Amino acid sequence: SQELEQSPQSLIVQEGKNLTINCTSSKTLYGLYWYKQKYGEGLIFLMMLQKGGEEKSHEKITAKLDEKKQQSSLHITASQPSHAGIYLCGADNQAGTALIFGKGTTLSVSS
């Protein structure tokens, strides 16, 4: 079965600094999703990537799917306290009926 590994598990950065979170799949990715979760709450959809080499940006967050389609990175520029939370990557399961998820990366931003 497919597994998603996220790194790092947790991250503390100073406000204004840049950071990158990685998501590595054990199998080829056909759809890669990034979500953000505040502790104990639901997931907020950030971006979806489909094609190798695809890159999408929303405000100060950029996500990229590598050419071989087995890894994605999420980059935050000039981090702010509002960026704090848990970032999860998800991928379409083999049947295409639901998503599998990584364990998440907890981001803290200190001011």
Partner 1 sequence: ETGVTQTPRHLVMGMTNKKSLKCEQHLGHNAMYWYKQSAKKPLELMFVYSLEERVENNSVPSRFSPECPNSSHLFLHLHTLQPEDSALYLCASSHSASVPYNEQFFGPGTRLTVL
Residue 97 or 111 with smaller CB distance to partner 1: 97
24-63 residues in contact with partner 1 (CB under 8 A) are 30-31, 33, 35, 40-45, 48, 50
Q: Is the dihedral of CA 46, 92, 108, 75 positive or negative?
A: negative
Q: What is the DSSP letter of 83?
A: G
* Residues with Cβ within 8 Å of residue 40, at least 6 apart in sequence: none
* Residues with Cβ within 8 Å of residue 46, at least 6 apart in sequence: 33, 34, 35, 36, 58, 61, 63, 74, 87
Only one residue has tokens 């364990």, namely: 103
Q: How far is the CB of 20 from partner 1 (least distance, A)?
A: 20
Residue 35 or 79 with smaller CB distance to partner 1: 35
98 near partner 1, rule: CB under 8 A? yes
67-96 residues in contact with partner 1 (CB under 8 A) are 88, 90, 92-93, 95-96
How many residues of this chain interact with partner 1, rule: CB under 8 A?
27
Question: Which stretches of the chain bind partner 1, using CB under 8 A?
Answer: 4, 30-31, 33, 35, 40-45, 48, 50, 88, 90, 92-93, 95-104
